[in-house]
């Protein structure tokens, strides 16, 4: 691999957004924007996102990974993460990718809330297609799940010698400060179908599988990925999420429509 094929940089109006551009070895005809999930999922997926980006760049696609404001290496504190700004940052990142790659056709990929952001930003960012891996469709259920995990964390004996106070764990989700705005935005989040072809990659446990038909009924389909992904397992909170089947599925889909 050429070292300079992966270039880290900052972009956006205040140069506050971090990006990692994966240049293909041949002139690109298409590009892929990788929308990260939020919170601990972003850290857990970092390795997998890099592997997928490298795999797609080897196939001749230009790829951009980036961090939203308040996440990863981008400017801003964790409490400043804002759903609307994530969507706007995604549109900025898509424009940056088009400029760097010299192509107009951009496919979006995202895991969990990254998939939800990709779907929500599809029109603004002019995506030609969205590939969403276990996207969050109903924010209220997701918020309840995070609240329950945060409550369990308070008395997690494998982490703390003594249970922590309620105030110690308040206004946070699994390691990150949560602003009231984001909580409210996610609580009312209801992701709808994008107006472009959509592939949902489903690795949720059978008991938790959302009703994907809401977002794929017209221009999309669902493909199962095995094994299931332990997104919501407190015991694996700091374990990286890796999935060779996911990489194969995304690369396979992009070959189909080449």
Residues of this chain that bind another protein (CB under 8 A):
1, 3-4, 6-10, 15, 18, 20, 40, 43, 46-47, 50, 71-73, 75, 77-78, 153, 158-162, 164, 168-169, 172, 174-177, 235-236, 238-240
Q: How far is the CB of 64 from another protein (least distance, A)?
A: 13
Q: Say how far apart CA 60 and CA 32 lie, in whole Å.
A: 11
Q: How far is the CB of 242 from another protein (least distance, A)?
A: 11
Q: How far is the CB of 175 from another protein (least distance, A)?
A: 3
Backbone angles phi, psi at 181, to 5 degrees: -65, -50
By CB atoms closer than 10 A (0-12, 13-18, 19+), residue 53 is: buried
Q: Taking the chain, what is the end-to-end CA distance rounded to the nearest angstrom?
A: 23
Q: How far is the CB of 9 from another protein (least distance, A)?
A: 5
Q: How far is the CB of 42 from another protein (least distance, A)?
A: 9
Q: How far is the CB of 158 from another protein (least distance, A)?
A: 4
Would residue 12 be called left, alpha or beta, if left means φ above 0 and alpha means ψ between -120 and 50 degrees?
A: left
Q: How far is the CB of 77 from another protein (least distance, A)?
A: 8
110, β-bridge pairs: 35, 132
């Amino acid at each position: 691999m050429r070292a300079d094929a992966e270039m880290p940089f900052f972009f956006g109006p205040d140069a506050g957004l971090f990006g990692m551009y994966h240049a293909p070895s041949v002139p690109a005809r298409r590009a892929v924007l990788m929308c990260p999930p939020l919170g601990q999922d972003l850290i857990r997926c970092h390795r997998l996102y890099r592997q997928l980006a490298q795999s797609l760049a080897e196939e001749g696609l230009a790829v951009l990974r980036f961090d939203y404001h308040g996440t990863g290496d981008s400017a801003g504190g964790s409490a400043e993460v804002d759903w609307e700004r994530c969507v706007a940052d995604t549109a900025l990142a898509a424009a940056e990718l088009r400029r760097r790659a010299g192509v107009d056709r951009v496919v979006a990929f995202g895991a969990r809330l990254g998939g939800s952001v990709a779907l929500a930003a599809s029109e603004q960012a002019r995506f030609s297609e969205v590939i969403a891996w276990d996207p969050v469709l109903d924010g209220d259920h997701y918020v309840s799940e995070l609240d329950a995990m945060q409550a369990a964390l308070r008395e997690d004996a494998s982490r703390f010698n003594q249970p922590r106070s309620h105030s110690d764990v308040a206004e946070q989700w699994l390691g990150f400060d949560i602003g009231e705005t984001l909580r409210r935005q996610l609580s009312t989040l209801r992701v709808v179908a994008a107006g472009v072809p959509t592939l949902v990659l489903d690795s949720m446990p059978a008991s938790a599988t959302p009703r994907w038909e809401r977002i794929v009924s017209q221009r999309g389909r669902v493909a199962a990925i095995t094994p299931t992904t332990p997104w919501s397992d407190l015991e694996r909170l700091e374990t990286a999420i890796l999935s060779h089947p996911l990489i194969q599925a995304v690369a396979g889909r992009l070959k189909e429509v080449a």
